Amino acid sequence: MSTSLSGAQAILAYLNKLTAEQQTGEVLIRSRALSAKVYLDQGLIVWAFAAGQRETFQTILISENKLSREAVLEGIQEARKNGKKSLDEILVALGVVEENARVKIITAHTKSAVRTICSWTTAEAEFVAYKKVAPSGVRGLTLDALLAQN
């Protein structure tokens, strides 16, 4: 069931409700032709992306690790082909083995997505519950911590 949201406050309130309830699953948010997804694991945001976000996973990874765009895209495709789905698993497959570096990249990407989502004036949101989203060892962010860093 879809929920209509009007403005950043309503979008944040919806996400806050899901995190407060310690939900696990995927939130699909649509605004006109744009869409975003926010992945929750026991109330923590483990990853988010939004169409039109300024800082993408690829651009952050390229700037942080000085990799070429081609190397990043090839590495992501290869990691996915080998069953790696989470950003953390993909980063390890790309050779980013230092945990703090991975956390920094995922946090920057997620912050960028949340900033983009909050710039939308109207949206429709739908939550789909899952048993598990993040592989063991993947750390998420509370919505409050993410917004404090925004």
At 67-115, the pLDDT tens digits run 788 888 888 888 888 887 777 778 888 888 888 888 888 888 888 898 8
The structure's pTM equals 0.83
Q: Residue 124 in contact with residue 30, Cβ under 8 Å? A: yes
Helices (H) and strands (E) counted in the chain, each on its own, are: 6, 5
More confident call, 131 vs 37: 37
Q: Residue 39 in contact with residue 133, Cβ under 8 Å? A: yes
Crossing angle for the helix pair 57-65 and 69-81, nearest 10 degrees?
A: 120
What is the percentage of the chain residues whose pLDDT exceeds 70?
93
* Number of other residues whose CB lies within 10 A of the CB of residue 44: 20
Mean pLDDT value of segment 13-37: 94
Question: Positive or negative CA dihedral for 89, 92, 94, 96?
Answer: positive
Q: Residue 66 in contact with residue 72, Cβ under 8 Å? A: no
Span 136-148, pLDDT tens digits: 666 788 888 877 7
